[in-house]
Amino acid sequence: MNKLIILLLALFAFYKYIFYIPELDSSSFNTSSPNEGTASANTSYKKTKNSTHITYTKDSPETAFKNHFSRVQVTGRGSVDRILRDDNEGKRHQKFILRLPSGQTLLVAHNIDLAPRLNSLQEGDTIEFYGQYEWNPKGGVLHWTHNDPRGRHKAGWLKYNGQTYQ
């Protein structure tokens, strides 16, 4: 019986470790509404979980790239450098590359099963963004630019031509 209880506790702890997303308090972030203004690219408010797998920041993608950060919330703006083919396997994503003011490039993977597509997007257009950054040597990937239907992940967004896509 004791072994069963220990096994159940271990499974529960493992589940909480894998699926844990800390609550974000409003004193650390003010990004729930992109219409309240966009933070500058060098704004930095940090809230971290003492773990190697989850770190939340509201930072610039340039800082995340420089420090090889992944799974961090970033905000900023860039111009569309290249429009890529949609990824239609599994969850569908609209993909394009932004060029940031620093010159860094950022691949945006915008889930179009959960958020509206940016239909009239063209090279040279300006996009403001808030989402989750994943590091790679080419400049990184931005995803989670939408609401989480389960409510477990911080909502992201894209802002284009005065409209918010979430």
Residue range 83-127, pLDDT digits in tens = 999 999 999 999 999 999 999 999 999 999 999 999 999 999 999
Per the CB < 8 A criterion, the answer to whether 97 and 138 are in contact is no
The pLDDT score that the predictor gives to residue 162 is: 94
CB of 62 closer than 8 Å to CB of 101: no
Does the pLDDT of residue 34 top 80, yes or no? no
pLDDT at 46 over 60: no
Asked if 40 and 30 touch (Cβ cutoff 8 Å), the reply is: no
pLDDT in tens, 127-150: 999 999 999 999 999 999 998 888
Neighbours of 93 (CB within 10 A): 20
What is residue 10's predicted lDDT score, i.e. its pLDDT? 63
Q: Which pLDDT does position 123 carry in this prediction?
A: 97
pLDDT at residue 15 tops 60:
no
Counting residues of the chain whose pLDDT is more than 70, the rounded percentage is 68
d(CA 82, CA 165): 19
Q: Give the ranges where 20-146 is alpha helix by DSSP (H).
A: 61-66
Model pLDDT, residue 17 = 44
> Residues, the chain, total?
166
What is the maximum span of the chain, computed from C-alpha positions, in angstroms? 65
User: Which domains are delineated in the chain?
Assistant: 43-165 (2.40.50.200)
Contact 70, 134 (CB under 8 A): yes
Q: What is the pLDDT of residues 147-164, one digit of tens each?
A: 888 888 889 999 999 999
Taking residues 27-56, what's their average pLDDT? 36
Q: Summarize the confidence of residues 54-80 as an average pLDDT.
A: 84
Q: Give the pLDDT confidence score for residue 73 in this predicted structure.
A: 93
List CB contacts of 24: < 8 A, sequence separation 6 or more. 47, 56, 154
Q: What per-residue confidence (pLDDT) applies to 13?
A: 55
Rounded average pLDDT over 58-67: 86
